[in-house]
Amino acid sequence: MSSRFQAPRGTQDVLPAMQPYWSAINDAILAVTRLYGYRRIDTPIFEAAALFEKGSGDTTDIVEKEMYVFTDRGGEALALTPEATPAICRAYLEHGMGSWPQPVRLYTTHPMFRYDRPQKGRYRQHTQFDCEVLGSGDPLVDAELIGLLWDLYRRLGLKGLQVRLSSIDDPGPRRAYVDRLKEYYRPFLGDLSEDSRRRFERNPLRLLDSKDDRDAPYKSDAPKLVDHLSPPAAAHHEAVTAALAALDIPFVIDPLLVRGLDYYNRTVFEIVPVEDERAQSTIGGGGRYDGLMEILGGPPTPGIGFGCGFERVILEMQKNGVEPAEGPQASVFVVHRGAATAAAALRAVAALRAAGLPALPGEGERSFKSQMRSADASGARVAIILGEDEVARGTAIVKDLRGEGGQREVPLGEVAAAAESLLASFG
């Protein structure tokens, strides 16, 4: 067995070359959440396991198979956060946000943990952008939330996307539909996948969400919930579709869309690339959950939200040819040689940074030629060169590394101003 450690299965190191993608997503999130009036919230990495068992639903894959659950030294059952919505709802209740002006618009970016089968774009630890609107049942809020996510993808250069939209009614009227669905599937039970046979009793709606090939032949003829909505849910659904049309957001009604969490009601949606297969193409989705606060012990409080995984979005950015530029490590590189130049080099770097100029020092034991190669690799546009002769004279050489600016000798005390002036001349 090798003694070298590796990242745990289903996790990844985000190396410097990939950081521009993460920065681009974070920058876009800051922009859209500010424009749409959302405020940031951060919840703990771990919560009481019961929060997700009650909130996400004990028949969901998250709770049944995917949660990382542990008992702490005090004997409390805790879980690494597998999804953001129950945690944000818990915070809403705990901190009395119901007394704030409603609705409350919140967002977070948060690591999520699910013991899932690792595959491209799906990790056991992934980072999720999550938005929640709490305290409004207005269907226009549903459309606005979808519009925020659509705007994010547009800013990131993603094209060829489509909203898949449906409604799964309210829990009471949905029971009659579930009975019809079970009657339809009952004769085929022996041919279904193991997961679907289990879901038949515990969560029949998930039969429509199965990705198993053994279940595919039976989904198209199954009764569709969106065709049998109660009048209030139907009116809500019509208002959402009208609002999306007014926003010029392309959508299709997907009668097989149910999403994988027990708390959803009425609006559910996913955003997918149009040409991709359904199974692993979703890059964001969510829905309305008007009964979740009551499940968690709070007063009736309507809500809607979505989750969007950074890793899936990055795959889509790469597929679209979006390559965020990696910025230079430094604007200025200080080259110096010999022990007598070390103090002057440190002072020069400090002065440059104090002036707001990213700066790196070379290694004084290496040759000038080697350090100049490092300066070039760093992306710096200006080099400050300190040899023993220059330091003895109280000067430094300021050199243009990328253009025709040449070089000139300046007093040591004017290094930062000279470098700033040269950088400004590049435009």
The answer to whether 269 and 304 are in contact (CB under 8 A) is: no
Tell me whether strands 303-309 and 104-113 are parallel, antiparallel or unpaired.
Answer: unpaired
3-state percent helix, strand, coil for the chain, nearest multiple of 5: 45, 20, 35
* Residue 329 to residue 359: CA distance in whole angstroms: 8
Q: Could you tell me which residues come within 8 angstroms of residue 82 by beta carbon, excluding any fewer than 6 positions away?
A: 52, 56, 62, 66, 67, 68, 112, 113, 114
What φ, ψ does residue 360 adopt, rounded to 5°?
A: -130, 140
* Residue 79 to residue 45: CA distance in whole angstroms: 9
Instruction: Please tell me what DSSP assigns to residue 231.
Output: H
* Residue 220 to residue 394: CA distance in whole angstroms: 82
The pLDDT profile of the chain, 427 residues, written as one tens digit per residue, is 567 899 999 999 999 999 999 999 999 999 999 999 999 999 999 999 999 988 766 556 666 778 999 999 999 999 999 999 999 999 999 999 999 999 999 999 999 999 988 888 789 999 999 999 999 999 999 999 999 999 999 999 999 999 999 999 998 898 888 888 889 989 888 888 888 888 888 888 888 877 788 988 888 888 888 888 999 999 999 999 999 999 999 999 998 888 766 788 999 999 999 876 544 578 999 999 999 999 999 999 999 999 999 999 999 999 999 999 888 889 999 999 988 899 999 999 999 999 999 999 999 889 999 999 999 999 999 999 999 999 999 999 999 998 776 889 999 999 999 999 999 888 6
Q: How far are the Cα atoms of 81, 98, 113, 245 from residue 71, in angstroms, in the given order?
A: 14, 32, 16, 49
The answer to whether 164 and 339 are in contact (CB under 8 A) is: no
* Residue 209 to residue 189: CA distance in whole angstroms: 16
The answer to whether 57 and 295 are in contact (CB under 8 A) is: no
Q: Distance between alpha carbon 206 and the CA centroid of its chain, in Å?
A: 25
Q: How far are the Cα atoms of 57, 242, 287, 292, 405 from residue 261, in angstroms, in the given order?
A: 7, 26, 10, 11, 62
Domains along the sequence of the chain with CATH? 16-169+229-319 (3.30.930.10), 332-425 (3.40.50.800)
Tell me the residue ranges of DSSP E strands in 140-292. 161-167, 251-253, 265-273, 284-288
Question: How many CA atoms are closer than 13 Å to the CA of 401, on its beta-carbon side?
Answer: 23
The answer to whether 108 and 130 are in contact (CB under 8 A) is: yes
Instruction: Please tell me what DSSP assigns to residue 100.
Output: S
The answer to whether 106 and 134 are in contact (CB under 8 A) is: yes
Tell me what pLDDT residue 167 has: 95
Tell me the residue ranges of DSSP E strands in 316-418. 332-336, 359-361, 382-386, 395-400, 407-411
* Residue 256 to residue 229: CA distance in whole angstroms: 14
Which is nearest to 121 in space by CA: 408, 378, 316? Answer: 316
Instruction: Please tell me what DSSP assigns to residue 379.
Output: T
Tell me what pLDDT residue 278 has: 44
The answer to whether 167 and 290 are in contact (CB under 8 A) is: no
